[in-house]
Structure formats: structure tokens, C-alpha cells
A and B are shown apart, each in its own frame.
Chain A
Amino acid sequence: MSDQPILTLDHVSKRFGPITVVDDVTVNIHRGKIQVLLGENGAGKSTLINMAAGVHEPSSGQIIVDGHPTRIPDTKASEALGIATIHQELQLVSSLSVAENIMMGRLPQRFGLVDKGEMYRLATEALTTVGLHVDPRMPAGALGIARQQLVEIAKALSLKARLLILDEPTASLTKHEIEHLFGIISQLRSEGVGMVFISHHLEEIAAIGDSVTVIRDGKFVAEVPATTPEPELVRLMVGRSIDEQFPRRATPPQEPLLSVKGLTRKGSFTDVSFEVRAGEVLGIAGLVGAGRTEVVRAIAGADPYDTGTVIVLGKPLPKGRIAAAIAAGVGLVPEDRKAFGLVLGASVEDNLGYATLMSSARYGLVDRRGQAKRASAVAERLAVRMRGLGQQVGALSGGNQQKVVLGRWISAGSRVLILDEPTRGVDVGAKVEIYQLMNEITAAGGAVVMVSSELPEVLGMSDRILVMSDGRVAGVLAAADADQHTVMSLAVKEVESDRV
């Protein structure tokens, strides 16, 4: 085995406008080795691998393939170099057959027609390499996530990939499926395929990785062996003192504002019960796919549920009725603000006013003066940085966009705020402002339920932490008793479930 890396990202940086997402990072990937990329959400991992995948070109630094500086301007070029990327969101066309997906863009032809026999033969061959025995004629969408992932890997291997980039491949898999995937990965490693592996699950690093590159805020922090103890990895990844970053001011909890009893939706979450009091921040932690988002959306009336009750200030809420939940004082700041939170083409004022648009109307007429007054008051209070209330919300920065979504509920007078990943894609300054706002809400007698995948944030801002695992409540911890370890061990706790 030669010592020359297959691929080197050599002092690469990536800037989007004024924001530097990746800052002078170097990563080497060798044959038959698994290089783990570790970092918090937003640390720049995805941007980094996207440079190898041909999605972004580095703003500075170079990419070296087999010792030669190389440009990878697009995904085709990346593919031609033998680099295959399995993105977090799978890229299969669900209505096409497994075989067509594997052979896409290079269907075997005879007399100008697709040679189906040959296509199925090649596809079956590819599927065998990943130990997947499914009918290549079936539509890819009929397979579960784990098998779809394997189909993508099979496709990559049939393209003669010698470098495989796996972006959080285990995020939506069950324990059993992960074991199977790791079996395949180990086998590929022994065959000399180099791999980049991204995961938030620290225990997976020791299980599968060879070496770990830690990045934080877009900067290279360290490269350590995969056998490095977990606490040390966490320290490298988080890096700073949690206390300074999270200005939580505890408020003595008062009467219960929100109680959830036995909330269940088959296949998503089971028997979820908890209570949040006025003045309290309840953090909800758990792995991706643990059902956190599903639960909070059901509470806010955005999605239906099968059984259970949601009670706000002593009154049960009707199932699946957003307007009723809003009237009762519940406000949901959804996970993906661009997809679910904002009308990007509309003005800041309009976006701030949607929750009160219908309820403040008299005889069906817009309360124009009231809407304008509320919007300017809340924009000032949250210090939304904008050219004016008439500016398109899509032109604001991520942090200011998030403030607008939050502001909508402040303006509606919501007392129970449900924040799903409130600081994702938000810069550090705006993050602290959002935390301050959470303090103000609880100080004023409101309650906050915060779903977050950033453990330091959950630990730093919550009064109590509810940990979900596999659709169930794995445990509730008081902030004083919680640390990374106790939360993570609950999050990965095996819970018997009826999920397939």
C-alpha cells in the first residue's frame, strides 16, 4: 500500500459572500482507511465534503488527487475521479427501478434500445457487492431507507469508486441496519476503498474509523486516532466553555402551561408524556429520527396523532388544528425556516404578521394599522437587522430570518413557544440573541420547548432535558444532573419498539 493519499484537501477555504464556512482545513484520505470528520452542526463538514463531490469549488487552497493538483468543477468530474458521495438525503429516483437507478446515465444499449437483460444482470452484480438481495426490477422507492442507502453504495461501487464519502449514513438507520452497513464498510476498506465518514455518534467512531479530523467553526482543530476517548473528542469538538455561550437565567417555575399525556402516533412516537411550567425551558434531545420533530409538530397541531391529549393552560386542544393551538397560545418555530417558516418572497412585515392576519381582522378586513404597529414593535424588540419592514425576508441573514419567525409568535402573544432547532444555520451572535429572547420569554411567564441536536445548547439553555429515543421518552433529566454523557446514553438507549 502506497503512502500517497487518494485525495487531499490542502488548506482549503470556502467563503459564501462575507461568511467563511470552511477556513484553511487540510484532510488526507488514504486507500483502505476510514477518515472520520467530526464537528458540531454548522461546523462546515458538509461544505468540506461538497468540495470533493464537485458541488462547491474551494475559494482558496487546492484539491490534490493521487499527488496531482486537480480541479473538481462539478459532480461529473468528481465521479470521473472515482469519488462517490452518499449524501444525507438520498438521491434515488423513487419511481424508477433499482436497476435503472444503479445504471442511470449509462444504461446498456443494443440497437439503440435499452438492453434490459444486461441492465438487470449488471445491477444484480452491483447489488451483490453490498450483500443486498432484492429484485432489481422493483421501484427504488419501495425499499426502506437502509436498503436505498445500500443501493446508492452499490451504484457508487459499480462506477468503480475508490473513494466513498458517507455523510451521516447512520442517521436514519436502526441498530441492526447500522451493523449491516458497518459490515459492508469494513469489507470495502479491506478491498482498498478509501472512505470519509461523517457521524454525530461518537461511539460509531471507535467502531469504524481509523483517524478523526475534528473541525470547529470551519477551522481545523486536530487530527487524532479513532481510539481517542469520547470525552476528549467532545472537548475538541465543542472547544469552548459552555457557560459563556449560554446565558440561561433560570426563572422559578410556576403553574403548568403545557401538559402532554400519552401522545402516540403509530410508526412515529409512542406514549410521550411531559409537562412544561411557566418560566421553564424544556430541552428535547435525541438522535435524528428519534421522533422529536414529529412530537412537537403534533403538539402544535401541524400533524395528526392517534391517541393521547395535549393540554394548554388546563384546556385540551383539538387534534391537528393549528389555529386552535395558536389561539390557545402555542407557537411553533419549525425546523427548516425556509421550507416551513417563511414566505421568502414576502416582506418582513407580512411575515411577522401571518399568525395574527386572520385573528386580528374585523369584518374580514385586514387590521392594517395594528399589523404594521405590531410588526415594527417586534422587529425593534428583536433587533432584526433589515433595511426596513418592506424588505424581502429572503434577503436577510439566517439569524435575522429566524428572528422573524420567532417574532411572529411574540407578536401573536404566544405563551408556549416550541422551537425546533432554533439556531441551526444561525451565526454565533444571533444565537446568543435568540437565547436572550428565550430568557425574556420565560421571565415574562412563558414556557419554551426547545428541540435541538446541539448538545451543548440543550445542556446550556434547558432547565430540564427530555431525551427521546426511538419514538419514546427515554428519560427526563434536571439540568444540574445532565451532561453530555448522561444525555447521550439515554439517547442511544435500546427501547423495544414496534418500528420495522
Chain B
Amino acid sequence: MFNTQETTPTAQKAPSADVKSTRAKIADFISDNGALVGLLVLCVAMFVATPDFLTPNNLLNVGIQASVVAILAFGQTFVIVTAGIDLSVGSVAALSAMVAAFTGQSWGMPPMVALLFGLLTGLAAGMASGAATAYGKLPPFIATLAMLSVARGLTLVVSNGIPIPTPSVVTWLGGSVGPIPMPVVVLLVMGAIGWFILNRLSIGRAMYAVGGNLEAARLSGIPVKRVLVTVYALSGIFAAVAGLVLSGRLASAQPQAATGYELDSIAAVVIGGASLAGGVGRISGTLIGALVLAVIRNGLNLLNVSAFWQQVIIGLVIAVAVGIDVLRRKRT
């Protein structure tokens, strides 16, 4: 739409034509980066409502609050790009953190080894979901719903329902180095890894093909099953990292940690412009989506809005954000 405006010779003079095209460019930018514009508008609104919002301390707070959901959502992005869904990320995060804490505490493993156990737990859970989907032909919704229950159950089995202190390296991941909070560092590192996988690795590009048209991808020689197992495995690893960060912040792995986070992660991905129908989704969008959720929670906290109302507002934001996106896509 905007492109046609750009080429229409409406103005005679060059300068005003320039203005037109700049305007069109801005319009294009807004339309291409709806989530980002939404986030900025949200930040300005929060700043106007409460000056406390735009203090360095509070912004770091938002980063910390966003980190766990954002890391889960990066993993979720791979899955959603292939037209799948991973409902197990919250449970897998809790299980991975619990395994790391348990192997450190009860088996006396060195902290780094315990951390590795945590990551391997996430990988194994993800690969199980992926195999059930790719080879067992279970719908992703069902396979990961099963994993949601299995992983949460195992977390309770391992912990006996009691929190376990985390190994030192995990606690370090949840803390700060000088003024810099480690969760934000982990968030940025995982985001960079996610971006690299989706944009630079052949298997990442293949994820878009599989999500866009599985049969066309298969007939072009793309190893569809391997791609599917990979996305769930990645989601499992990202969930493990998120779980480690979360437990590190509390210095203990909680059996009920990250309950319901799978929905936040899906919301972040979708607010970020991905389509549950597959084939579309970006890490940058997902990051923005996670930040939108965090900014709303943080701002509403500063404004003393009750946690009950926060849930209502976040639900509406999800509906509005995706609704705008759907309308925009229809127009173009």
C-alpha cells in the first residue's frame, strides 16, 4: 500500500516529494515493526504515568523480569516457526533446575557438572517431545502437553516437593556482576544464539520452510524429521537455561517454579509477530514481545495495580497486539 503511494506522482516539487517518501518510509517502518512501536509507546505511557519507570535501576529490573520468559520464548520461537507449539517449557525449566540442584546437593557433583546435568535434562526432554512429534506422529500440542505433566511430576519426584539450594555457578547466573545483572547477560547471549541459529544455520532456514509448507520442504530434500526434533531439543535447552536463571535468582530450585510460564512464552512469541500457523517469526520480535509483557507488569506494579487486574490487562494486550497484526497482514 505504502509503496504505491511512494511512486504516485502527487507532488510537482522535489522537496515535497521527499517529504512524502520519508513519510511513506516511516509508515512502512511502523507497519513492519508494529511490536517495536507498541513497546516504545508503552514505555512513553509508563514514563508519563510514573517517572519512576525511566530510572536505570528500574530498567534493569524490567530486564531481569523479562529474562526468564524471554529465554523460554526464544526456544519457543523455533517451535512456533515450524508451526508447532511447546507447552512443556515451564515444566522443563523447573525440572532442569531441579536436576542441577539435586546433582549438586545430593550427589555432590561439582557446580559446573551439575549445571551440565541441568542442560542435558532440558535437551533430553525436548528430544523426547520432538521424537514423539516427528516419529510418533503425535500432534505437538499433545506431545508437549504430556511432557508438561511428566516433567512437572519428575520435578516433584526428584525434589520430594521440597526446594533445593542451587550450585554456586547457578546462583552466580541469577546474581549480578558489579551493576550488571547476569540474567540480562544470559538473555542477550541466548538471544544472539537464537538469532544465529535461525538466520545463519541451514537448519534454521529449514525451520521456516518446514513451518511454511512441510510437504514442499520434504519434497525439496529438507530432512523434516530432523528439523522437528531439533526445534524441540533447542526449546528444551533454552528452557533449561531459563530454569537455571530463575532458580539462580532465588538461590534455590523450587518444585513449582515457572508454572504457567509456557503461556507467557507463547504470548511473547505471538506479540513479537510470529504466526501460530508457522513459517513466520523472528528472535528480535520475540524479545520485544517478552519486553512488552515485562514492561506492563513492571509499570502496573509501580502504579500499584493489583496482581489480579494485571492478569486481565495482559490478556487484553495479547488480544489487541495479535488483532492489530492480523489486520495489518490482511491489508498488505
The reply to whether A358 and B201 contact each other, CB–CB distance below 8 Å, is no
Q: Per-residue CB proximity of A343-362 to B under 8 Å, as 1/0?
A: 11110001000110111110
Interface membership of chain A positions 182-203, coded 1 if the CB is closer than 8 angstroms to chain B and 0 otherwise: 0000000000000000000000
- In angstroms, Cα B200 to Cα A368, docked, is 8
Chain A 310-347 near chain B by CB (<8 Å), digits 1 or 0: 00000000000011001000001010000111111110
Asked if A364 and B221 sit within 8 Å, CB to CB, the answer is no
Chain A residues near B279: list those with CB within 8 A: 343, 345-346
A residues in contact with B280, CB < 8 Å: 345
Q: Known A339-B215, A366-B202; judge A358-B209 contact (CB<8 A).
A: no
Q: Which of A350, A360, A366, A368 contacts B209 (CB 8 A)?
A: A350
CB of A326 to closest CB in B, whole Å:
4
B206 at the interface (CB under 8 A from A): yes
- Complex formed: what's the CA distance from A302 to B222 in Å? 12
Decide yes or no whether A408 CB sits under 8 A from chain B.
Answer: yes
Contact pattern, A 255-267, Cβ under 8 Å of B = 1, otherwise 0 = 0000000000000
List B contacts of A342 (CB < 8 A): 213, 216
Picked from B200, B201, B202, B220, the residue with its CB within 8 Å of the CB of A355 is B220
Q: Residue of A at shortest CB range from B218? A: A322
Residues of B within 8 A of A346 (CB): 208-209, 212, 279
Q: Which residues of chain B have C-beta atoms less than 8 A from A326's C-beta?
A: 220-221
**B219 to A343, Cβ gap below 8 A?**
no
A365 on the B face (CB < 8 A): yes
A322 touches B221 (CB 8 A): yes
Cβ-closest chain B residue relative to A334: B219
B202 near A343 with CB under 8 A, answer no
Contact in complex: B202, A361 (CB < 8 Å): yes
Which residue from chain B places its CB closest to the CB of A394 in the assembled complex? B212
Asked whether any CB of chain A lies closer than 8 Å to the CB of B109, the reply is no
CB of B223 within 8 A of chain A? yes
A345: min CB distance to chain B, Å:
5
The distance from the CB of A390 to the nearest CB of chain B, in whole angstroms, is 13
In the complex, chain B residues whose CB is within 8 Å of the CB of A345: 212, 279-280
A344, B214: Cα distance in complex, Å: 11
Instruction: Name B227's closest neighbour in chain A (CB-CB).
Output: A358
Taking A322-B218, A340-B215, A364-B202 as given, write out 10 further A-B residue pairs in contact, using a Cβ cutoff of 8 Å, ordered by the A residue number.
A300-B219, A302-B219, A341-B216, A354-B217, A354-B220, A355-B221, A357-B220, A358-B202, A358-B222, A365-B201
- Please list the residues of chain A having a beta carbon within 8 angstroms of any beta carbon in chain B: 300, 302, 322-323, 326, 332, 334, 339-346, 350, 354-355, 357-361, 364-366, 368, 408
Give B residues with C-beta under 8 Å from A.
200-206, 208-209, 212-213, 215-223, 279-280
Can you spell out 24 A-B residue pairs with CB atoms less than 8 angstroms apart? A322-B218, A322-B221, A323-B221, A323-B223, A326-B221, A339-B216, A340-B215, A341-B216, A342-B216, A343-B208, A343-B209, A343-B213, A343-B216, A344-B213, A346-B279, A350-B209, A354-B222, A357-B220, A357-B222, A358-B202, A358-B221, A358-B222, A364-B201, A365-B201
